[in-house]
A and B are shown apart, each in its own frame.
Chain A
Amino acid sequence: MALTAKHHEYWRKNLVITAILFCVWFVFTFVEIWFARELNSSMTFLGFPLAFYFSAQGSLAVYVALIGIYALLMKKLDKEYGVDEGDLE
């Protein structure tokens, strides 16, 4: 079927959400690694040097949260733009 303007707007919003979450992912992965030495010597958190904490636990928790947020936001967006799959039960 032909896509309406509304559909295009849905896709644009999807891209924005994806891009923002991707940036968060990038920061907590590669930016964190790049500055690991500085982070490690700057402060400790719960007894951990900071970079060790993030690589071992913090970034992982961010990844989990990120995917959860994506699923929730997209669920809402689907409903808003009427492209959701309805109740499957």
Chain B
Amino acid sequence: MSTPAFSQSNFNRQLKKYYTFYTGGFIMFLLALAVAEQLGMSRAWIGYWFLFATIGLYAGIGWMTRTTDVAEYYVAGRRVPSFFNGMATGADWMSAASFIGMAGTLFLTGYDGLAWVMGWTGGFCLVALFLAPYLRKFGQFTIPDFLAERYGGGIVRFMGVICAITCSFVYVVAQIYGVGLIVSRMTGLEFGIGVFVGLAGILVCAMLGGMKAVTWTQVAQYIVLIIAYMTPVVWLGLKHTGIPVPQFAYGYTLQKLGDVEKKITADPKEIEVRKIFADRAAAGKAALASPDKAYAEGKANVEKDLAELKTANAPADKIAAAEKAVAAYPVSVNAAKVQWTRETGLAARAAPPRPHAQAFPGKDEAAQATARLNFIGIVFCMMFGTAALPHILMRYYTTPSVQEARTSVFWSLVCIFLLYFTAPCLAVLAKYDMYTNLVGSSFASLPVWASAWAKVDPSLLSIVDINKDGIVQLAEIVIGGDLIVLATPEIAGLPYVVSGLVAAGGLAAALSTADGLLLTIANALAHDFYYKLIDPTATTGRRVFLSKFLLVCAAITAAYVTSLKPGDILFLVGAAFSLGASSFFPCLVMGIFWKRASKWGAIVGMAAGLGICVYYMVTRYPFFGINMPLWFGLSPVSAGMFGLPVSMITIFIVSWLTPEPSKEVQELVEHVRYPNLLGDMVVSEAR
């Protein structure tokens, strides 16, 4: 719907100019805040500045790009140059889990965490090879659009809508959770209020201008988040490796880390602490075996201690401590059982640190093979899930041409690569820093950041002197993964501005992903469900209005679900990918590469893939309480590893058993395979 005077090259030039100014402006803003901090601006105010300046900026871009035009609203007018689409996809893709959680997961699990790094990058190869160019040539508005045209009929579209909404909704809840977390940390507001402040930012942008606004905001958000991620790493890298691009040099830090790990494993004080944990775990286990007896004995013991101290006329503080022990003793056997169960959990802390680079640890061959299988399972599901999540695939509808769609996948992965190859580096540097500076230091002189974070949330960091020797042992530290990225600036001793910047980056990551997801949900409802299935005569104005309205509804529902704080975020994210891989990927790819794939093949295949995936998750994931034995020891997060092949085989078999697709459909398949065919409708896309 461009005006005749519109010129793509002119547009590209202008974009470059705007975003160069914007990046420069953002850096000036950082420097100004850094100076203000030196002049004595308080930490709370720095937090507010980052929060309101960035959200205000995103809202401003949303306002400037507001639109009611259908093509602008759904696919940003199809003129987003590949490089900018790459940045937008990068921001769309990298969620709170990538930005905040990734380095922490790697810190805690070492090599095993790399499954996520590989899974969340390698999937773009599948997008490039099997989907992006063909979907771009098809050129409609949503993913269910493609399924409906290719396989014909409302049922397929309806199933597509259900799948798109399921994966996107599960995923968006995780994002809004991240938004709430960061906003409440940055400003000290309550979690619930934080969720709604962040939500306001999301809404202004996505609602006013749909895909157009979301795209241009996401480009801005990418720039913020990549600057935020790199700054502390460069600093930490200079400190430990001596060069500002530690990504290439941290191999040697990894070796030094290995030496430190060996030293810690053999250190007598460390062994002492680990033994204390092992003993406590064993005691807990023994008590659980005969709870009534253990409860009575334990109670008698603490009471006896108190009585003895009193008769012996012991000092007052000792008596007070003994009284406290009596008062703190569980009131009932059941309360004691909870405590003992917690104590048995300490067995995990009785193990020596696992070498960071070691692949698939396990006590024997079988355990190692299971660890490897689970690694493969995560990589597999994350990759095929990437190539099936509608909010990512939708982005490739927005480029001006098929060729640009291909290069756009390239730029997407370049933008994503920058963060993902930095995360393992950050994990190693932070771990080395902690193992050498914090471990072995004295409790009397803990660094400021350690005591500050321990105060914020004990699940993020707790350091307790278990063996009372006044020295910090590694086994005495409990650290939450989310801490690593958020606290790195403080660990490295950077000014508070950098901490604010990192939080702003995390916020940008969560907001941008949430934007893309909410838009997908709203479009699936307004475009596919309402316009295509219920009222095909609806005017364009009505459709866009409805989509905006539904976006707000979806956002509020998601915020409500988030405020209930549902379980494990990483499981939710993994589940979204597994569901996508089992439902969308097979019928999308077979629809393009196999003309014979028929309507019923797609319907039954999608249902079978989704069915087996959901069945495996529900019957195996502990949350649902059924806990059937695992197949091959594969964890329920990787249910897509069963769902995807089942779906493919089902499509194959059912397609052979049912009539072949009509001539029109076969022509459509041919149409998407060639970037430009004579006889194509003049630039074929629907507008």
Known: A36-B111, A47-B255, A64-B413. A70 touches B406 (CB 8 A): yes
Query: Is the pair B417, A61 in contact by a Cβ cutoff of 8 Å?
Result: yes
Picked from A1, A37, A46, A74, the residue with its CB within 8 Å of the CB of B406 is A74
Instruction: For residue B127, give the distance in angstroms from its CB to the closest CB of chain A.
Output: 9
Instruction: For residue B49, give the distance in angstroms from its CB to the closest CB of chain A.
Output: 35
Query: Is the pair B674, A48 in contact by a Cβ cutoff of 8 Å?
Result: no
Query: Is the pair A83, B676 in contact by a Cβ cutoff of 8 Å?
Result: yes
A57 to B117 Cα, complex, angstroms: 9
Query: Is the pair A37, B359 in contact by a Cβ cutoff of 8 Å?
Result: yes
A34 to B48 Cα, complex, angstroms: 48
Instruction: For residue A40, give the distance in angstroms from its CB to the closest CB of chain B.
Output: 5
Binds A, one of B202-210, B372-380, B597-605, B653-661: B372-380
Picked from B125, B248, B357, B417, the residue with its CB within 8 Å of the CB of A52 is B357
Query: Is the pair A56, B421 in contact by a Cβ cutoff of 8 Å?
Result: yes
Query: Is the pair B133, A74 in contact by a Cβ cutoff of 8 Å?
Result: yes
Identity of the chain A residue whose Cβ is nearest the Cβ of B119 in the assembled complex: A29
Is B264 located at the chain interface by the 8 A CB criterion? Answer: no
Query: Is the pair A48, B251 in contact by a Cβ cutoff of 8 Å?
Result: yes
A76 to B598 Cα, complex, angstroms: 33
Interface residue SS majority, chain B? helix
A55 to B121 Cα, complex, angstroms: 11
Instruction: For residue B369, give the distance in angstroms from its CB to the closest CB of chain A.
Output: 10
Is B128 located at the chain interface by the 8 A CB criterion? Answer: yes
Binds A, one of B395-403, B522-530, B547-555: B395-403
Q: Which of A43-77 contact B (CB under 8 A)?
A: 44-49, 51-53, 55-57, 59-61, 63-64, 66-68, 70-71, 74-75
Q: Which chain A residues lie closer than 8 Å to B222 at the CB level?
A: none
Query: Which of A7, A30, A57 has its CB near the most chain B CB atoms (within 10 A)?
Result: A57
Instruction: For residue A53, give the distance in angstroms from its CB to the closest CB of chain B.
Output: 7
Query: Is the pair B129, A70 in contact by a Cβ cutoff of 8 Å?
Result: yes
Known: A36-B359, A36-B360, A37-B360. A51 touches B129 (CB 8 A): no
Known: A33-B376, A59-B118, A83-B676. A47 touches B359 (CB 8 A): no
Picked from B122, B251, B252, B403, the residue with its CB within 8 Å of the CB of A53 is B251
Per-position 1/0 for B412-433, Cβ under 8 A of A: 0110010011001100000000
Known: A36-B111, A57-B424, A89-B7. A67 touches B673 (CB 8 A): no
Instruction: For residue A56, give the distance in angstroms from its CB to the closest CB of chain B.
Output: 4
Q: Which chain A residues lie closer than 8 Å to B122 at the CB level?
A: 25, 29, 59-60, 63
Q: Which chain B residues lie closer than 8 Å to A21 at the CB level?
A: 125, 129
A21 to B126 Cα, complex, angstroms: 10
Instruction: For residue A51, give the distance in angstroms from its CB to the closest CB of chain B.
Output: 6
Q: Which chain B residues lie closer than 8 Å to A30 at the CB level?
A: 376, 379-380
Q: Which of B95-154 contact A (CB under 8 A)?
A: 111, 114-115, 117-118, 121-122, 124-126, 128-130, 133
Query: Is the pair B676, A84 in contact by a Cβ cutoff of 8 Å?
Result: yes
Interface residues on A, range: 35 or more
Q: Which chain B residues lie closer than 8 Å to A14 at the CB level?
A: 673
Known: A30-B379, A71-B406. A60 touches B117 (CB 8 A): yes
Query: Is the pair A64, B128 in contact by a Cβ cutoff of 8 Å?
Result: no
A53 to B357 Cα, complex, angstroms: 9
Query: Is the pair A85, B675 in contact by a Cβ cutoff of 8 Å?
Result: yes
Query: Is the pair B249, A46 in contact by a Cβ cutoff of 8 Å?
Result: yes
A60 to B124 Cα, complex, angstroms: 10
A14 to B251 Cα, complex, angstroms: 39
Q: Which chain B residues lie closer than 8 Å to A78 at the CB level?
A: 403, 675-676
A89 to B12 Cα, complex, angstroms: 10
Q: Which of B1-19 contact A (CB under 8 A)?
A: 7-9
Is B214 located at the chain interface by the 8 A CB criterion? Answer: no
Is B545 located at the chain interface by the 8 A CB criterion? Answer: no
Identity of the chain B residue whose Cβ is nearest the Cβ of A30 in the assembled complex: B376
Known: A71-B410, A85-B401. A33 touches B8 (CB 8 A): no
Query: Is the pair B114, A52 in contact by a Cβ cutoff of 8 Å?
Result: yes
Query: Is the pair A84, B424 in contact by a Cβ cutoff of 8 Å?
Result: no
Is A5 located at the chain interface by the 8 A CB criterion? Answer: no
Identity of the chain B residue whose Cβ is nearest the Cβ of A15 in the assembled complex: B593
Known: A48-B254, A59-B122, A63-B125. A33 touches B379 (CB 8 A): yes
A22 to B115 Cα, complex, angstroms: 19
Q: Which chain A residues lie closer than 8 Å to B414 at the CB level?
A: 64
Query: Is the pair B413, A11 in contact by a Cβ cutoff of 8 Å?
Result: no
Query: Is the pair A63, B406 in contact by a Cβ cutoff of 8 Å?
Result: no
Q: Which chain B residues lie closer than 8 Å to A22 at the CB level?
A: 125, 129
Q: Which chain B residues lie closer than 8 Å to A29 at the CB level?
A: 118, 122, 379, 383
Q: Which chain A residues lie closer than 8 Å to B417 at the CB level?
A: 60-61, 63-64
Q: Which chain B residues lie closer than 8 Å to A52 at the CB level?
A: 111, 114, 254, 357, 359
Is B80 located at the chain interface by the 8 A CB criterion? Answer: no
Query: Is the pair B400, A88 in contact by a Cβ cutoff of 8 Å?
Result: yes
Q: Which chain A residues lie closer than 8 Å to B359 at the CB level?
A: 36-37, 40, 51-52
Query: Is the pair A85, B118 in contact by a Cβ cutoff of 8 Å?
Result: no
Known: A46-B248, A67-B125. A36 touches B403 (CB 8 A): no
Picked from B252, B254, B413, the residue with its CB within 8 Å of the CB of A67 is B413
Instruction: For residue A1, give the distance in angstroms from its CB to the closest CB of chain B.
Output: 4
Picked from A34, A47, A71, A74, the residue with its CB within 8 Å of the CB of B251 is A47
Identity of the chain B residue whose Cβ is nearest the Cβ of A83 in the assembled complex: B674
A69 to B403 Cα, complex, angstroms: 13
- 7 shortest A-B CB distances, which residue pairs? A47-B251, A1-B679, A55-B114, A48-B251, A36-B359, A56-B424, A71-B406
Other than the given A47-B254, A84-B675, 19 more pairs (CB < 8 A) read A7-B674, A11-B674, A22-B125, A33-B372, A46-B249, A47-B250, A48-B254, A55-B114, A56-B424, A57-B247, A61-B421, A63-B124, A67-B128, A67-B410, A83-B674, A85-B402, A85-B675, A86-B676, A89-B8
B interface residues with partner A (beta carbon < 8 Å): 7-9, 111, 114-115, 117-118, 121-122, 124-126, 128-130, 133, 247-255, 357-360, 368, 372, 375-376, 379-380, 383, 400-404, 406-407, 409-410, 413-414, 417, 420-421, 424-425, 670, 673-679
A-B contact pairs, 11 of them (CB 8 A): A30-B379, A33-B379, A36-B372, A37-B359, A44-B251, A49-B254, A63-B121, A63-B417, A64-B413, A85-B676, A89-B7
